[in-house]
Amino acid sequence: MSQVDQEYDIYRALAFVYDQVMEEVNYEHWADFIDEIMQTHHRDPLRILELGCGTGSLALSLDELMCYSILATDKSPEMINVARRKKQEMITSRVSFDVVDFMDLSPLHPRKFDVVLLTFDSINYLHHQDLILQLLEEVQQVLNEEGIFIFDFTTPQNSEQAIQSLDGEEGYYENFYYHRKSRYDEEDRIHVNTFTIQQLDDDRENVIDSFQEVHKQRIYTLSEMRSIIHNSSFDILSQYEGFDLVDADDDSLRVTMTLTCPQTT
């Protein structure tokens, strides 16, 4: 088969190598951090909805705590397929996986959740305030009384520091090879990651097929994100830096926000 370059919807071809791309992420540590936030800001969190769950690693790590009922969702069927395969390889797992676009949570109605999660800077894919406000409206519809929404985002400082390590990153996973080109436009604050993914033969000597995905994220400051939230129905409970319950500021690289909606309390 001749090599054909195709530009795919994001997380379609990348699903084949996503776990390799994220191999340095300590999901157990991340799950412990999320668990600490939930226990701090909700008196009895039981039903968890994860949005943008990717290949399910965070949800499966949270499930090991054995105290939550978790529905993990993602817009990409390919990512969900990988997540379901990983679940099958586990001895026990109560996580359910489903294909859902976090910009339209109507397929989940009338179910309600104590906690909604959106991690790994997925919200940075929303490039305009109106889209973030639309997301918050969707989340509000699926939150129980006293429910909380936990999400994180990366800041300009993070992009400025990460660009050197991300640009040129490459690796193999099974019969796939990937290469990342990464650039950050400081003026427009758009971070672009272009992934080239090649499917190889069993000997990894010949390219069977080649795909490209272009990921564009809008990078927000903490002040900007707070301003957007203040235009919504949500109140801010916390803004944490990194993976500690330490108050974030405009110099933080990654910020994890915890929100609640007075209309549901």
CATH number, position 46: 3.40.50.150
List, for residues 125-162, the tens digit of each pLDDT value.
999 999 999 999 999 999 999 999 999 999 999 999 99
Q: Is there a domain that residue 107 lies in?
A: yes
- Sheet of 96-99, strand order: 96-99, 69-74, 47-51, 113-118, 143-154, 254-260, 235-241
Co-location of 180 and 110 in the same domain: no
Co-location of 106 and 232 in the same domain: yes
Q: Is there a domain that residue 9 lies in?
A: no
Q: What is the pLDDT of residue 3?
A: 40
Q: Is there a domain that residue 82 lies in?
A: yes
Q: How far apart are CA 74 and CA 131, in angstroms?
A: 17
Residue 43 corresponds to which tokens in the numbers above? 């008196």
Residue 201 corresponds to which tokens in the numbers above? 């033969």
| SS3 label, residue 26 | coil
Q: What is the pLDDT of residue 90?
A: 86
Q: What is the pLDDT of residue 65?
A: 87
**Any idea what the Cα angle at residue 253 is, between residues 30 and 135, rounded to 5°?**
70
Co-location of 95 and 143 in the same domain: yes
Domain enclosing residue 176, as ranges? 157-218
Q: What is the pLDDT of residue 262?
A: 84
> Cα–Cα distances in Å, from 85 out to 56, 73, 88, 150, 250?
10, 15, 5, 26, 40
Q: What is the pLDDT of residue 263?
A: 57
Question: Which segments of the chain have a pLDDT < 70?
Answer: 1-8, 263-265
**199: CATH:** 2.20.25
- Name the domain count of the chain: 2
Co-location of 225 and 209 in the same domain: no
Co-location of 44 and 133 in the same domain: yes
Q: How do beta strands 190-200 and 176-185 pair?
A: antiparallel
Co-location of 107 and 34 in the same domain: yes
Task: Kindly state the percentage of the chain with pLDDT values over 90.
Answer: 88
Co-location of 135 and 189 in the same domain: no
Co-location of 58 and 121 in the same domain: yes
Q: Is there a domain that residue 129 lies in?
A: yes
Q: Is there a domain that residue 8 lies in?
A: no
Co-location of 75 and 35 in the same domain: yes
Q: Is there a domain that residue 120 lies in?
A: yes
Q: Is there a domain that residue 5 lies in?
A: no
Co-location of 140 and 47 in the same domain: yes
- Is 155 in contact with 222 (CB distance < 8 Å)? yes
Q: What is the pLDDT of residue 8?
A: 55
Q: What is the pLDDT of residue 1?
A: 26
Co-location of 67 and 168 in the same domain: no
Co-location of 177 and 251 in the same domain: no
Q: Per the omega criterion (within 30 degrees of 0), is the bond before 45 cis? A: no
The most distant pair of C-alpha atoms in the chain lies apart, rounded to whole Å, by 60
